[in-house]
Structure 1
C-alpha cells in the first residue's frame, strides 16, 4: 500500500531507512505523475546494458582492491535489481518481494547440506558438482546448453558452454589437445586473412577466441579476469611511456614506434625491479 506523501518524504530522507527507503525512492522515480521522466520511460531492454555495466564496475573495484568504493558500486548494482523489479510491478508481472522470495527459495533448495539433512562432509569440488546437479534437475529435460545466459560477456559464456559440454564428456582430456587446436585455429585464421572474406575472417577469429577460452578453463583461469589484468598492465605501462615523453616535453604523437617500444621495455623493467624489491 503506497505511503502518504508526508510519510514517503520522511522515509526517503531517513538515512537509516534501509531497503524500504530504496524501494520507495524507486517507486517515486517511476511515479507517472511526479517521477523522473527518464526513469519513467525506461524498459527492461533499455536498462539491461546499465545492469551489465554496474556488474562490471563491481568486478573492477574488487580487482583493484578498492574496497572503499565497493559499497557504492554494490549499491549501484542493487539499484539495478530494484529498478527491474519496479518496472515489472508497473507492468503487473511481479514485484520486489517475488524477486527476494525466488532467490531465498533457490538458495535453500541448492544448499541441502546447510538447510537440510544432506552431509556437509564434502569437498568444495563435490559441493560444486552437487550444485550443478540440482540446477540440472531444476531445468528438467532441457538440453545440455540451455540456460547459459546470452547476455554474459562472450568469454565468460564460452567457458560456461564448455563446462556444460564437459559434464557430459564432450571435452579434451588435457591442455595438450587444446594447445594443438589453438595452433590449428591460428593457422586457419592466417589462411582466412590471406584469401577469404571479412565475414569468414571474423568467424575464424571467433573460433580462435573460443579455443582460448577453453584453454583458460583447462588451466583453471578466469579469462575475463586475466584479460582485465592485462588491460590494466597495458594501461599502466603506456602511461609510463607518456610520462617519459612528457619529461622530454613531447607526447606520443610526437614519437615513433621504435622509441615508444624502447620506453615500453623501460617501463617493463621498472615494474620487474619494483617487484624484485618487494621480495
Structure 2
C-alpha cells in the first residue's frame, strides 16, 4: 500500500530500517524477544510519566518518548521477522481504529466530517459503543483491564469502567460491613499523603498493601459483574 505523502514518513522509515539493521548486526539487539522487552517497555513508560509529572523540559520529554517509540518499533520488527505483521500494519491498524471510534470527526473513509457538533459526553458514549462492537465477546465491562497494572492504577481503571457501564456495587463484599472511608481530600497532594499514610500503617501491621488492593480489585469485579466469588490468579 502506498504511503501518504507526509514529512513524518522519512524519519520513521529511517528509524525502522536502523532497527532492522541492528537486529541483524548487533548480537545484543538480535537476541531480544517480546518477552525480554517487557520490562523495558514498562520502565520507559514510567520514565515518560515521571518526566511529565516532574516538569522535565521538552528535550527530556522528547528523548523519553523516543525510548517508548523504540519499544514499539522493536516489537513490530520482531513480529515482522516471524511474518506476523510490521510497523506499517501497526500504524494502519491504529489509524483505522481512531477513524472508527471518532465518527464525530471522520467519515468511514477517513475524510473529515463537514461539522463537529459532538459534546464530550457524546464522544465518550460513541467510543464505548464502537469499542463494544469491535469486541463483542467480552463477558463483562472489566475485560481488557490489564491484570498486570499496579493495584492502585487498576482500581481506578475498574471504577471508571464500572461507572461508564452504569455499575455501582457496594465496596464491601457480601455480608461484610462497608469500610470506613474518610472524606475525599481536596487536592492530589492531600490524597497522596493519605495513601502514603495508609501504606505506612499497613506496613507497621505486617500487611502487604499492594496484595491487599489486588484482592479488593478481584472482589470488586466479582460483585460488579455478578460473578460468584472464587479463586483467581493473583496477577492483578
* Fold match (TM-score > 0.5): yes
Among 62, 75, 83, the residue aligned to 1:71: 62
Matches within 5 A, 1:96-111: 96-111=87-102
Q: Which has the larger radius of gyration?
A: 1
Q: When you count helix as a share of all residues, which structure comes out higher?
A: 1
Q: Distance in 2 between matches of 1:84 and 1:52?
A: 13
Q: TM-score, normalised on structure 2? A: 0.64
- Quick check: 2:44–2:64 contact (8 Å CA) kept in 1? yes
Runs of 5+ consecutive residues of structure 1 not aligned to the other structure: 1-15, 175-179, 212-279
Matches within 5 A, 1:106-125: 106-116=97-107, 120-125=116-121
1:80 aligns to what? 71
1:139 aligns to what? 135
- Quick check: 1:182–1:208 contact (8 Å CA) kept in 2? no
1:59 aligns to what? 49
* 1:92 and 2:79 matched: no
Shift of 1:210: 8.4
Shift of 1:95: 0.7
* 1:25 and 2:29 matched: no
Higher relative contact order (CA 8 A, sep 6+): 2
Matches within 5 A, 1:150-169: 150-169=147-166
- Secondary structure of the structure 2 residue equivalent to 1:141: coil
Shift of 1:207: 4.8
Q: TM-score, normalised on structure 1? A: 0.55
Structure 1 vs Structure 2 CA RMSD: 3.4
Q: 1:85 to 1:205 in 2, by over 3 A?
A: closer
Among 81, 101, 125, the residue aligned to 1:129: 125
For each residue in 1:105-141, what CA deviation from the matched residue of structure 2 results, as whole angstroms up to 9, or x when unmatched?
A: 0011111111125973232233122212211111113
- Secondary structure of the structure 2 residue equivalent to 1:19: helix
* 1:44 and 2:34 matched: yes
Across the two proteins, how many residue pairs are aligned to each other?
179
- Quick check: 1:158–1:210 contact (8 Å CA) kept in 2? no
Q: Distance in 2 between matches of 1:166 and 1:28?
A: 47
Q: 1:126 to 1:210 in 2, by over 3 A?
A: farther
Q: Distance in 1 between matches of 2:150 and 2:158?
A: 12
